[in-house]
Amino acid sequence: MNMRLLLIFLGIVSVLIANQNLAFPKDYKEGVLYTSVIRGGVIEDIYAPKEAILALKEGKNLPDQTIITMEEYANDAGVRARLNRYIIMQKQGKEWKFQAFKADKSLNSAENTTRCLNCHKSISGEDIVFSLEAMKSYKGE
Ligand code: HEC
């Protein structure tokens, strides 16, 4: 392969990687449920890996590849009813990627993840996580 073809090939590969969807984080329950948020009609249970919480407690940023997972339930007078969906965010270097999944854990490709990023970007700093303080002050083991 000559150099130019190689560069074109690498360019295509990097575009494919950049646009890749995140897979469902099947091990997220090995992490901890560090906070629950009631937001009108939904109850949100938010999970993070223990190492991520530890890093925050040590005053560091969240580690590369950290995945934060939210289970979103219908709120039936303060009780979790039907599971609506899952949404996740993953740190990749200093960037965050977002993804939505249906209740059966299949990818929801109809979701516009640029919207996710744009809202989360309203947080300053590297870790654009709204519940960062809750994660930092999580008291469990
Ligand atoms: C209009 C603003 C907004 C949009 C759009 C948005 N989020 Fe969020 N997100 C929030 C807020 C605020 C929270 C904190 C929990 C709460 O208050 O409900 C949150 C929490 C989260 C969390 C838990 C970690 C954290 O930041 O606290 C994840 C994961 C998440 N969102 C993923 C997504 C994904 C994926 C999308 C797009 C499908 C999305 N969000 C779209 C505002 C937004």
Chain-centroid distance, C-alpha 119 = 13
- CA 71 – CA 3 distance, rounded (Å): 47
The ligand 1 atom nearest the CA atom of 135: 27
Domains of the chain with CATH codes: 28-136 (3.50.70.20)
Mean pLDDT value of segment 86-104: 98
Rg of the chain on CA atoms, in Å: 17
Enter the pTM of the model. Answer: 0.91
Mutate to test the pocket of ligand 1, among 120, 121, 136 (most ligand atoms within 8 A of CB): 120
Residue-wise pLDDT for 73-91, tens only, equals: 999 999 999 999 999 999 9
CB of residue 98 inside a 6 A radius of ligand 1: yes
- State in Å: Cα 46 to ligand 1 middle: 10
Phi and psi for 78 in degrees, rounded to 5?
A: 85, 0
∠ CA(59), CA(65), CA(72), 5° rounding? Answer: 95
Contacts (Cβ under 8 Å, ≥6 apart) of 1: 9
- State in Å: Cα 6 to ligand 1 middle: 39
Residue-wise pLDDT for 16-71, tens only, equals: 666 689 999 999 999 999 999 999 999 999 999 999 999 999 999 999 999 999 99
Q: In 1-141, at which residue ranges do the beta strands (DSSP E only) sit?
A: 32-39, 42-48, 67-76, 79-92, 95-102
